[in-house]
Amino acid sequence: MSVVSKGASLDFRTLQSLFASDTANLFRFLEELKKRLGDYPDSAVWISRVPWERVLARAVALESSYRDNQDGPGRYPLFGIPFAVKDNIDVEGMETTAACPAFAYVAKATATAVARLEAAGAILIGKTNMDQFATGLVGTRSPYGTVRNPFNAAYIAGGSSSGSAVAVAAGLVAFALGTDTAGSGRVPAGFNNVVGLKPTRGVISAHGVVPACRSLDCVSVFALTTGDAFKVLELCRGTDSQDAFSRPVPWHRNATASAFAPGRKTRFHFGIPDARHLEFFGDDESAALFRQAVDRMTAMGGVSLEIPFEPFAEAARLLYQGAWLAERQAAFGGFVDENSGEVLPVIREVMARGKTLTAVDGFRAYYRLRELRTQTEGLFKGMDFLLTPTAPTQYRFEEVEADPINLNTRLGYYTNFVNLLDLCAVAVPSGRKANGLPFGVTLIAPAFQEGVIASLGAVFHSATGLTMGATSNPISKSFPVSSQAGVLSSEGSPSGASPSGTALSGASPSGEVSPDSRGPASLIRLAVAGLHLSGQPLNPQLLNLGARLAGTFKTVPRYRLYALERPGRKFPGMVRQSEGGAAVVLEVWELTPAALGAFLENVKEPLCIGTVELENGEKVKGFLCEPSGVDGAVEITDYGGWRAYLAESKPPS
C-alpha cells in the first residue's frame, strides 16, 4: 500500500494562506478533509473520531469569532488547522482507552495541552491508536487493530504513537500529539517520513495524560515540518499547577530568536556515536543513509565529532532492564493484576518484570543514572547536539510477532536514554530506502535547547528534497523559526559558551528567516534534474558551495528526458523541444554568482547550462543536454523525472 493524499497540503503555511484569503474556505476545506478521511483505507489509525457534526459546529463558532474579533489572527494562530491526539490523552466527553477497552473511561476534562491548542483555533478530528498503555515502540500492540505503514503495509509503523504519526503522514491531520517515554514520539516519525519533536520533560503539561513512567513522560508533537512542530510546542507549552512535573523554561533560553539560515555556513559541532556503538543490526542500507546524513550536516557548516556513546547506551538499558520498570508498575500495575485477561500478553510480560524490583534497586539505579548524566553533560560541552539515526532499522510485522520484546528493545537503541538524561530531541526525515521506506535521523540536545535543534532540523529537512509525509507535496520553501526559539550563546549553552564559538542567529522578529539573513539578493536560481538532486551522488557539489534548495518544480511540457551512460556513470540528459515533449520534475537551487562560477567547472559535455522554463512561467538557468549527446540513448520522458525512473528501474528487493 502506498498512499498519496490528494488535495491541499496540510502544512501550516498552506492552510493559513488558504484561510487568510477567505475564512469561508475553512468549510470547503473540511468537506475535502471529510472525503479524505473516508477514503483512507486503514481504519486502525483511529480509536475514536469526533462526530462530524461536532467538527462543523466547532468550525462555525470559530469562523464567527475570528470574523468578529479584530485580532483574529493573533487570537487564533492555529485557526482551522485539524489535529489529532493519542488515545492516552483526555478530551472532555470522549473515551480515553490507552488502547485497553477494559480501562476506558469518559474524560471529565480536557488535557491542558489539548485545551491550549483548541484555544489557539485548532480543530480536533479524533483520537489515535497506540501500543497498549504506551508500552512499546512497534505499533503492533493494540486490540483496536494494527496501524499499517503508509509506505509499505508489510512493515510496522512504529509506536507507541503509531496512529498519530500515520495520521499526519497520510495527510489526515496537520499535526498530532503523541507521548514519548522511551521514543514513542520519535520512532514513528522516522518510520513515516514526518517530524517528531520531543520537548524537554515538563515543558508541555502532562495533566490529563495517562501516565506510563510519570517522571519521564512527555507530550510530543508530530508534524509535516519542523517549523510546524515547533509552533505547536510554543502554543501548548507553559507551567501548569495541575502537573507536579511541569517546569518553566529558563528565560535566557528563549529570549532571542534563532535561525540557521540556508546558504549561511554557520560553524557548529555535532557528535555522532563512536564506530563501536554505531549499531544498525545488520541493516547496511540504514548505515549508508546515516553516512549521507552526516555528510549533509557537514555541508551545512557542521563539524562531526565521534563521541563515546557507551554512557548513553548504558542509560538506555536502565529504562527496560532496570528499576524504571517499577514505575510502570506504579502507573497501572494494579489494573493489570485485576484485569489480566483484558491486557495483551506481551504487556503483561513487560509489566511482570517490574514486580521483582525493590526500593534498593531503585536507589542504586538512580545513583548510576546521576553518574551517567554527569558524564554526558561533559560530552555536550564539546558539541552543540548529538546526531543519531532515529532507529537502527525497521521490521516486518511477522518479524515482530516472532520476537516482540527483543526487536522492540532494538528500536529504542537511540531513543531510550533521552528522557532519563533530561535531553530534548527532534526526529527529522533524512532519506528513503530502495524499497520506499523512510529513514530518519534525530538531533539531541540538553534541556531547553529545542529552538537550536529545530532551526537546524528545518534546514536539514529541506535539503533532503523529500516530500512531506506520504503525500506528493514538496517541503515548504521557507524555514519558520519562532521568536521564542533557543539560541546557542554565552547565556544559552549548557557549558556557559557555545561549543562552536558562534551563535546560531538571524531570525526576524516575526520568526521567519528574513531575506537579508539569507544572503545577497543576487542569488542565481539553477535547475537540476539528475545526479545533483537532493540525496543523489553529486548533490554535495551544490551543498559545499553554500547552495540552498528553493523547491521542487515542473518544467513546461516542452522537454524530453534520456538516460545516458558513460564509463563509470549513468545520468539523465534533458533536451528542449520546439514542439511536443512533456513536463519534467526537477529541483531549483539558489547560489551566489561566485558559487555558480565555481560550479560550472564541474559541468562536462554533453551537458551544458542553458535556460529552463518552469511550469509557473519562470525561466531559470539549468542543466540541458546537447542534442547530439542523446544519440542512441534510452528515452525516459514518460517517467516524468530522474527519481521516478530510478525507482521504477531498480530490481525488486
Q: Give the active site residues.
A: 86, 160, 184
Which residues is 307 bridged to in the sheet? 273
Q: How far apart are CA 66 and CA 553, in angstroms?
A: 35
**Separation of CA 385 from chain center:** 17
Q: What is the largest CA-CA distance in the chain?
A: 81
Contact 581, 559 (CB under 8 A): yes
DSSP letter string over 493-510?
STTSS-TTSS----B-TT
Residue from 168, 167, 187 nearest 393 by CA = 187
- Structure letter (DSSP) for residue 272: E
- Say whether 640 sits in a helix, a strand or coil: coil
Contact 353, 368 (CB under 8 A): no
CA distances from 500 to 168, 240, 266, 488 (A): 35, 35, 9, 9
User: Which residue type sits at 616?
Assistant: N
Which residues is 585 bridged to in the sheet? 554
SS (HEC) of 207-224? CCECCCCCCCCEEEEEEC
Residue from 166, 265, 194, 221 nearest 428 by CA = 194
Burial class from Cβ neighbours inside 10 Å (0-12, 13-18, 19+) for residue 24 reads exposed
Contact 277, 310 (CB under 8 A): yes
Burial 420-433 (b: 16+ CB within 10 A, else e): bbbbbbbbbbbbbb
Contact 13, 174 (CB under 8 A): no
